[in-house]
Amino acid sequence: MFGAGSPPTPVIGIVYAIMLTFVAAFLWKTGRFTARIRGVLLASTVILGFATFSPMIPHQFQALLIGLGTPAGTILFAGLAGLSLFALLAFLFGRHFCGYLCPIGAVQEAAYLIPVRKIRLPGNPVMSGIRGAVFLVIVFAAVVYKIAVLDLSGFQDFFGLTLSAPLFAFLLILAVGAVFYRPFCRLICPVAVILQIAALGARWKIRRTDACIRCGRCEKACPTDEAKAGDLRSECYLCRRCLEVCPVEGALYYGGKKD
């Protein structure tokens, strides 16, 4: 879908991601998005990832960059349109795709559920600098030298059940992901950078109300340090941890600004 030379993603995977974004946003908005539903979506997405039905958009984005300057104009246009659509969905509803509809993100979310001691790093300038540098390296290598740097992370081999050196790199990422929340999403994934920017002004997202008692439980529970009063929630993966620990009903809600 996203670039020349990339293996075609079955249409069912794209439809799955787009339709489930609308469904999940509706369930969130109506207060029906439960931990059980989230678990079902995570499991379904991981399974579809192994079945190659769920879209590996980081790989396709890289293929799109590598294909720049080639005569495959229609394919590249379709890729840009597809990426723009996912960015629009992030702007409207937040990062549902990253949260549990991308197989790479979903399997990392599952890894973080392993009951081991966690290390939480705030979204500080150092992390932002690392993420920006990795993004530039991936883009530069793909556009200028047509090198698929992202393939070294091994997620394609993991979901393709291919024994290779990059596979062990992704297994290491998952091991790190058991203690540090979503290392691939937060430090490596180039699409996450784009969707984070799109989600800066998300119309629907988790917000506080006047019922908040400033107990700080949501801030301690948030693995991305995005639950503070003034945060924009652009790195919110809609994991529900803040809602699960909030002691006051109605202090947090998902939706647009209230008058």
| C-alpha span between 166 and 79 (Å, rounded) | 25
SS3 155: helix
Helix residue spans in the chain (DSSP H): 11-29, 35-50, 57-66, 73-93, 96, 103-112, 125-144, 155-159, 165-177, 183, 190-199, 217-221, 241-245
The rounded percent of the chain whose pLDDT value lies above 70 is 90
Average pLDDT (99-104) is 95
| C-alpha span between 224 and 231 (Å, rounded) | 11
Q: What is the pLDDT of residues 186-243, one digit of tens each?
A: 999 999 999 999 999 999 999 999 999 999 999 999 999 999 998 999 999 999 999 9
Global pTM reads 0.91
> Can you give the C-alpha Rg of the chain in angstroms?
18
Structural domains in the chain, sorted by start: 11-198 (no CATH), 205-255 (3.30.70)
| C-alpha span between 133 and 130 (Å, rounded) | 5
Instruction: Give the CA distances from residue 258 to residues 33, 89, 248, in Å, rounded to whole numbers and listed in that order.
Output: 20, 21, 18
